[in-house]
Structure 1
Amino acid sequence: MTSPHPVPPEPPAAPKNGTSPSPAPLDDARPTLTIRAAHSGDAVALSGLFAEWDYPRTPEFVRLSLAQLRPEQDQVLVAQRGGAVIGFISVHVLPTLHDAGVLAKITGFVVTQVARRGGVGRALLHAAEAWAAGRGATRIEIISGNRRTEAHRFYQAQGYAGTDQTRFLRALG
C-alpha cells in the first residue's frame, strides 16, 4: 500500500441529547483523509501519537523501528488529513503451525484524541485488514490493554470478538 487512498469525510455524529445534527454543508471544507504507508519522515508525528498512547518514544526510536520492518510481512499505515498525521496502525503477518492460513497481528493502533469518532480508526483498520488479506491472512488479532475499554468497544463495533485467552510476556536478555 504505497499509493495514498483518499477516504471521503464522514458526516458528523448525531448529538447525544437525541436531537438531529445540523445538516452538513454540501461543500464539506474538511480535508480528505488519506491512508498511506508510513516513512521515516513521519517519525516526529508518530512519536507524538505514541505519547498519546502512553508509550513515549523518541523520533529517532521510531525512525530506527521503521527501518527494521520487512515490507513483505510488516506494514505501518498512517492516516493523514490536511498534511497532518492523525493516526497510525501497525500490522504484521506470520504463518502459524497450529492453524491453517496466515495470522495477522495489529501491534499498534492510535488516532489522535481530537480526530476520534470521525471514521479515522475505521479507515485505518479496514486498510490494515485489506493489506493483511492481500498477503494471505485468514484472520487478524488485536491485543489491547485491559484498561482501554473505549478501544474495546470500538473493536467490537468493527466485528472483533474477545477471546478466552490470557497473554503472557517475558523479557529476553
Structure 2
Amino acid sequence: MTQIRNAQVADADVLVELLAQLDYSAAGFIKEKIRALLGHPDAVLLVAEQEGAVRGFISLHFIPQIALAGDFCRVSYFCVDSRQTSQGIGKQLLEHAEKLAKERSCDRMELHCHSRRLRSHQFYERQDYEDSPKYFMKKLG
C-alpha cells in the first residue's frame, strides 16, 4: 500500500537519488531546499512511501492568477523511482496533488516536461494532461 505524506528533511538522501534519475545533482543543497519548501505557504513537497521506503515525490506550487478566476498549481518536480514505475505510484501522487489543488481553488494543473522524456509524456496523456507546446526560459546569473 502506498502512503502519501509531506516530505521531511530526513528524506533528503532519497530525494537526491530520485533527482539524479532526472539528471539533476542536488546533493549540496537539498536539505536547504526542502526546509524552504516546507516553510513556504504556497508550496507542498510530498513523498510516496511503500513498506517504509520513499518511492517517489512531487513538488507543487500554488500560484494566484490576476486575470482568471481560478488559480493554478504548478508541478515543479515529479519523480517515481525508475525501479518502481508502472505500479500506480505516480498516478496516486498526481491524483493527491490534484485534490490539494482543487482544495486551494486551483482550476488547472501545469507542468513542464522535457521533450526527451517520452515515457513521461505518455503517462501525462493517460492522466488527461494536454500538450501545451510553448515554454520559454531565461537563465539568470
Matched, 1:172 2:140: yes
Per-residue deviation, residues 61-84 of structure 1 (Å, max 9, x unmatched) = 111011112443100110111111
Matched, 1:99 2:68: yes
* Unaligned 5+ runs, structure 2: none
**Which contiguous aligned blocks of 4+ residues in structure 1 show a shift greater than 3 angstroms?**
none
Letter in 1 for 2:13: V
Matched, 1:50 2:19: yes
Higher helix share: 2
- Note the aligned Cα RMSD (angstroms): 1.2
Partner Cα distance (2:107, 2:136) in 1:
24
- The share of aligned pairs that are identical, in percent, is 34
Q: Quote how far apart the aligned CAs of 1:172 are.
A: 2.0
- Match of 2:83, SS? helix
Instruction: Give the TM-score taking structure 1 as reference length.
Output: 0.77
When Rg is computed on C-alpha atoms for both structures, the one with the higher figure is 1
* Unaligned 5+ runs, structure 1: 1-31
Letter in 2 for 1:64: E
Q: Tell me the residue number matched to 2:126.
A: 157
Instruction: Give the TM-score taking structure 2 as reference length.
Output: 0.94
How many corresponding residue pairs? 140
Does structure 2 conserve the Cα–Cα contact (< 8 Å) formed by 1:92 and 1:132?
Answer: no
Matched, 1:143 2:112: yes
Partner Cα distance (2:20, 2:88) in 1:
21
